[in-house]
Amino acid sequence: MGLLQQRHGRLVSAGVALLTLLSLSGCAVISEEECFDANWRQRGLNDGNQGYTTARLNDYLKICNRAGANVNTANYLQGHQHGVQLYCTPERGRQEGLKGRTYRGVCPTSLEASFLHAYQPAYDVYRKEQALDRINSRIQQKERELRKTKDSKKRRRLREDIRALDREAAYTRREIRRLD
């Protein structure tokens, strides 16, 4: 095996190892080292304020138990409860909806209706904006095809497609204004 092939093999191996490490670290909610000095009330507050359910606590327990560290469940749950109170506001519902984030059902009954009243229309706006982006991409694709083709029948069909997509885009923009 030549020197170049050996270097290429090592680079590929290093790349695979790096990708594996990155994929594993992206899944972990906490490192084993963090388990030993975690502020569990603060972690619960942060998770609740981000709209995570208490099911995330199970991930902490699994990782920290494996490391031999204790999780202060009571402090976590106390912090989480406070964080959820901060999360479950109409203003936050609107923000979450406009960003297209999924609501995980964390709000208590007393706050859920007002949260969802703001969240759902905002989420509908987000979905319409995503649809408008897809329509605009299709228009751009058709326009590129139109510039490339010389066939008059195909050009006519592409122009018709573009006009139809323009109408669809205009309708979607009106829907976004109506919802917003």
Same domain, 179 and 97: yes
Query: Could you give the CA distance from residue 37 to residue 164 in angstroms, rounded to a whole number?
Result: 60
pLDDT for position 179: 86
pLDDT for position 27: 53
Domain boundary among 71, 87, 103: 87
Domain assignment of residue 124, yes or no: yes
pLDDT for position 8: 42
Query: Could you give the CA distance from residue 71 to residue 64 in angstroms, rounded to a whole number?
Result: 7
Please list the ranges in the chain whose pLDDT falls under 70.
1-27
- Do residues 176 and 128 lie in contact, with contact meaning Cβ atoms separated by under 8 Å? yes
In our burial notation (b when 16+ CB lie closer than 10 A, e otherwise), range 58-85 reads eebeebbeeeebebeeebbbbbbeebbb
Same domain, 95 and 180: yes
Same domain, 118 and 170: yes
Domain count, the chain: 2
Same domain, 116 and 165: yes
User: Would you call 102 exposed, middle or buried from its count of C-beta atoms within 10 A (0-12, 13-18, 19+)?
Assistant: exposed
State which residues form the domain around 34: 29-87
Same domain, 96 and 158: yes
Domain assignment of residue 173, yes or no: yes
pLDDT for position 180: 77
144: which 2 tokens? Answer: 């590129």
